[in-house]
Amino acid sequence: MNAVGQPMPRTDGRLKVTGAARYSADVPLDGMAHAAIVHSTIANGRTVSIDTTSAEEAPGVVAVFTHHNMPRMNPTPEPWSHLHPHGQSYLPLLADAVHYAGQPIALVIAETLDQATYAGTLIKVEYEADQPVVFNRETAKEAVDPPPFLWPVASSVGDADEGIATAAVTIDQTYTTSDRHHNQMEPHVSTAVWDADETLTLYETTQHIFGARELVSIVLGIPPEKITIVSHFLGGGFGGKAYVWPHTLLAALAAKVVNRPVRLQLTRAQMYSMVGHQAATIQQVVLGAGEDGTLAGIRHDSISPTPVFDDYIEYAALAARSLWAAGTGIATNHKVVHVNRNTPTAMRSPHEALGHFALESAMDELAYATGVDPVALRLLNDTEIDPYSGRPFSTRAMRECLTKGAERFGWDERTPEPRSMRDGRYLIGQGMASAIYTHWRWPAKARVTVHQDGSALVETGTHELGTGTYTVMQQVAADALGVAPEKVTVRLGDTRLPASHPSIGSATMANAGASVMLAAKAARDRAIELALAGRDAPFAGAEPDDVLVADGRLVLARKSLEITYAELLARNGLSTVVGDGDYDPVEEALGPKAVFSFSAVFAEVRVDPDLGLVRLNRFVGAYDAGRIINPRTARSQAIGGIIWGVGQALLEQSETDPETARFANRNYSGYLVPTNADIPELDVLFAGGFDEEASPLGAKGLGELTAVSVAPAIANAVHHATGKRVRDLPITVEKIL
Q: Which of 400, 464, 588, 704 is catalytic?
A: 704
Stretch that binds other proteins, among 209-217, 343-351, 635-643, 673-681 (CB under 8 A): 673-681
Burial of 611 (0-12, 13-18, 19+ CB in 10 A): exposed
Please list the residues that pair with 194 across neighbouring strands. Answer: 200
CA atoms within 13 A on the CB side of 353: 33
Binding segment for other proteins (CB under 8 A), chosen from 111-119, 356-364, 487-495, 584-592, is 111-119
Is 587:441 a contact under the CB 8 Å cutoff?
A: yes
**Is 167 within 8 Å of 295 (Cβ atoms)?**
no
Which one, 634 or 649, has the nearer CB to other proteins?
649
Task: Please report whether residue 114 would count as binding other proteins according to CB under 8 A.
Answer: yes
119/492 Cα distance (integer angstroms): 37
User: Pattern of binders to other proteins over 120-139, x per CB under 8 A?
Assistant: -x------------------
Q: Give Cα separations from 176 to 32, 262, 324, 357, 711 (angstroms).
A: 46, 42, 21, 9, 12
Taking Cα atoms as reference points, which of 105, 343, 106 lies closest to residue 242?
343
Q: How far is the CB of 41 from other proteins (least distance, A)?
A: 5
Interaction of residue 180 with other proteins, rule CB under 8 A = no
- Quick check: 678 binds other proteins (CB under 8 A)? yes
- The nearer residue to other proteins, 550 or 613, going by C-beta atoms, is 613
Using the contact rule CB under 8 A, the part of the chain among 113-121, 207-215, 248-256, 503-511 near other proteins is 113-121
d(CA 671, CA 201): 34
What CA–CA distances, in Å, run from 700 to 433, 520, 680, 684? 20, 20, 27, 16
Tell me how far the alpha carbon of residue 620 is from its chain's centroid: 22
- Give the shortest CB-81-to-other proteins separation in angstroms: 34
**If we measure between CA atoms, which residue out of 335, 208, 358 comes closest to residue 715?**
358
* 674 neighbors 651 (Cβ within 8 angstroms): yes
* The pairing of beta strand 227-230 with beta strand 200-204: parallel
* Residue 472 binds other proteins (CB under 8 A): no
d(CA 616, CA 607): 9
Q: Which is nearer to other proteins, 188 or 662 (CB)?
A: 662
665 touching other proteins, by CB under 8 A? yes
Nearer to other proteins, 303 or 661 (CB): 661
Q: Using the minimum distance from each CB to other proteins, give the nearer residue, 425 or 559.
A: 425
User: Which region among 151-159, 312-320, 444-452, 605-613 touches other proteins (by CB under 8 A)?
Assistant: 605-613
Beta carbon nearer to other proteins, 371 or 723: 723
The residue (of 90 and 118) whose beta carbon lies closer to other proteins is 118
CB of 131 to other proteins, least distance (A): 14
| Helix boundaries (H) for 482-548 | 513-533
Contact 473, 11 (CB under 8 A): no
Nearer to other proteins, 216 or 651 (CB): 651
Position among 8, 33, 91, 101 found at the interface with other proteins (CB under 8 A): 101
One symbol per residue from 37 to 66: x for binding other proteins (CB under 8 A), - otherwise; what is it?
--x-x-------------------------
Q: How far is the CB of 199 from other proteins (least distance, A)?
A: 36
Of 66-74, 114-122, 217-225, 405-413, which part binds other proteins (CB under 8 A)? 114-122
CB of 437 to other proteins, least distance (A): 27
Site residues (CB under 8 A) for other proteins, limited to 256-275:
269
Give the burial class of 537: count Cβ atoms within 10 A of its Cβ; 0-12 exposed, 13-18 middle, 19 or more buried.
middle
Binder among 664, 685, 696, 725 for other proteins (CB under 8 A): 664
Single residue of 662, 720, 724, 727 touching other proteins by CB under 8 A: 662
Nearest distance, CB of residue 367 and other proteins, angstroms: 28
Binding-site member from 612, 631, 636, 725 for other proteins (CB under 8 A): 612
Residue 567 vs 678, nearer CB to other proteins: 678
Residue 489 forms beta bridges with which residues? Answer: 457
The answer to the question of residue 610 lying near other proteins (CB under 8 A) is yes
The answer to whether 252 and 225 have CB atoms below 8 angstroms apart is: no
Nearer to other proteins by Cβ, of 51 and 692: the residue is 51
Count CB atoms within 10 A of the CB of residue 228: 18
State phi, psi for 443 to the nearest 5 degrees: -70, 150
Per CB under 8 A, 18 contacts other proteins:
no
Instruction: Quote the least distance from Cβ 93 to other proteins, whole Å.
Output: 18
Q: Does 111 interact with other proteins (rule: CB under 8 A)?
A: no
CB of 89 to other proteins, least distance (A): 24
105 touches other proteins (CB under 8 A): no
d(CA 521, CA 2): 15
Which string of DSSP letters, residue by residue, matches 419-482? Answer: T-EEETTEEEEEEEEEEEEE-----EEEEEEEETTS-EEEE-S---SSS-HHHHHHHHHHHHHT
Q: How far is the CB of 329 from other proteins (least distance, A)?
A: 41
Q: Is 651 in the site for other proteins (CB under 8 A)?
A: yes
Nearest-5° Cα angle at 456, 453 to 459: 145
**Calpha distance 401→26 (Å, rounded):** 43
Q: Rounded CA gap, 475 and 479, in Å?
A: 6
Query: In the complex with other proteins, which residue's Cβ is closer, 34 or 300?
Result: 34
* Contact between residue 654 and residue 719 where contact means Cβ atoms under 8 Å apart: no
Q: Tell me the one-letter amino acid at 554.
A: L
Give least dist CB 651 to other proteins, A: 6
669 is a site residue for other proteins (CB under 8 A): yes
Decide if residue 732 touches other proteins (CB under 8 A).
Answer: yes
Binder among 144, 165, 548, 611 for other proteins (CB under 8 A): 611
Pairing state between β 262-265 and 33-39? parallel
Q: Is 413 a catalytic residue?
A: no
User: What per-residue string of b and e applies to 650-686 under the rule 16 or more CB within 10 Å gives b?
Assistant: bbbbbebeeebbbbebbeeeebbebeeeeeeebbbbb
Considering only 657, 685, 696, 725, the residue that binds other proteins (CB under 8 A) is: 657
List beta partners, residue 598.
Answer: 436, 624
Closest CA to 494 of 461, 525, 529, 472: 461
Size of the site for other proteins (CB under 8 A): 38
Stretch that binds other proteins, among 135-143, 300-308, 653-661, 713-721 (CB under 8 A): 653-661
- Cβ–Cβ contacts within 10 Å for residue 487, how many? 19
Determine the interface stretch with other proteins among 123-131, 251-259, 608-616, 702-710 (rule: CB under 8 A).
Answer: 608-616
With CB under 8 A as the contact rule, the residue among 659, 689, 690, 723 that binds other proteins is: 659
483: Cα separation from own chain's centroid: 32
Binding residue for other proteins, selected from 78, 413, 545, 734, defined by CB under 8 A: 734
Residue partners of 516: CB distance under 8 A and separation at least 6: 446, 448, 458, 460, 473, 476, 477, 480, 581
Instruction: Identify which range of 77-85, 126-134, 248-256, 657-665 contacts other proteins by CB under 8 A.
Output: 657-665
Does 655 help bind other proteins (rule: CB under 8 A)? yes
- Binding span for other proteins by CB under 8 A among 252-260, 302-310, 378-386, 666-674: 666-674
- 340 vs 665, which CB is nearer to other proteins? 665
Catalytic residues: 704
Residues that bind other proteins (CB under 8 A): 39, 41, 101-102, 114, 117-118, 121, 269, 610-613, 615, 650-651, 655, 657-660, 662, 664-667, 669-670, 672, 674-678, 732-734, 737
